[in-house]
Amino acid sequence: MKFRKLIVKPLLLAIIFLTAVLGQNALCQPVSENLILLPRARLFDPRVADPQEIQLSARYLLDRNDFAGNIGYSVGLLECLVNDTPLQLRVEASTFLVSKLQTPNFPVQSTDYTIGFPLDLRKGAFSARLRWYHVSSHLGDDFDEIEGIEGAIDLPPGLNGRRDARPKKYAREFFELFGSYDLSGFRIYGGINWAYHIVRNASDTKNFDPWVVQFGIEWFGNSNSKMVSPYAAADFKSKREFDWETDISAQAGIVVGRNKLRRMRVALEIFIGHSSQGQFFLRNDDDINFLVAFDL
């Protein structure tokens, strides 16, 4: 039974992922002059430095000797013109897991599942996104119980019993609103997240605040003319529940491929802030990562 629970969700997401990739490539076509079914091009580009963005990527966490994998994909469902402005509805999902590498069986620490429905638009160099999304986090092989649900827990090696390292029950639903502007190889973006539904532990006394402010900057050098080109990106996320402390994620590396819908990024990444793992969101992480990501 436990084995079935561990493989059912990843297997379903893998099937959805393959179906989406093959189906979108095969069926993308205009339905009418102002309507496109399964559009291929994106109106709002992914935030490449945001570790919680829907993406297909793998990270080696150098300091912790952990592996972090994100299996995600975003599919355009429908695109239409409204007063000559393209408007696009998408569906996206991902599985984000962290596994420890120092033991023979590579135990999974936690797995986060995300599903979202973005509504994007573009007007020249400006693009915007309104998205609803859900995130839920689940413990892996390292833990038996969750604090506040069934009592005591077993902490994995390396966490030293720190209170902020103990897992919390985590599930939230969000609305987010973002704007982005492209200028001469640079892109800047900013927006807000509002968690209208937050699942808490029975033992929690803190009133978790739903507001998050986020902004970032990206630079891609000569990515349209060369097969291999440099890039750099940084993302900043401030959460009111942590008195507006800022989580910082920065990447620098190379891009392989000219088409931003079919390219690979290899980079070093620095992350300073509260953990991207849902059930460990109270934990402060200082990570240096080796990153391989595929923009699809």
- pLDDT given at position 244: 94
286: enclosing H helix or E strand: strand 284-295
Q: What is the pLDDT of residue 153?
A: 40
What residues have CB less than 8 Å from 4, skipping those under 6 apart? none
Domain limits, the chain? 2-295
Q: Report, as ranges of residue numbers, the positions in the chain whose pLDDT lies below 70.
A: 1-32, 103, 141-166, 202-207, 223-224
- Determine the Cα angle at 201 with ends 139 and 209, to 5°: 105
Residues 6+ apart with CB under 8 A from 19: none
Provide the pLDDT for residue 157.
42
Cβ-contact 167, 141 below 8 angstroms: no
* DSSP 8-state code for residue 63: T
Q: Is residue 30 packed enough to be buried (19+ CB in 10 Å), middle (13-18) or exposed (0-12)?
A: exposed
Cα distances (angstroms) measured from residue 232 to each of 48, 49, 100, 114, 221: 9, 9, 28, 26, 9
Q: Are 16 and 24 a contacting pair, CB within 8 Å?
A: no
The matching CATH number, chosen from 2.40.160.40, 3.40.50.150, 3.30.1330.30, 3.20.20.60, for 2-295 is 2.40.160.40
- Tokens 């059930």 label which residue? 279
Segment (H or E) for 27: helix 2-27
Residue by residue, what is the 3-state secondary structure of 138-165?
A: EECCCCCCCCCCCCCCCCCCCCCCCHHH
State residue 138's pLDDT score.
87
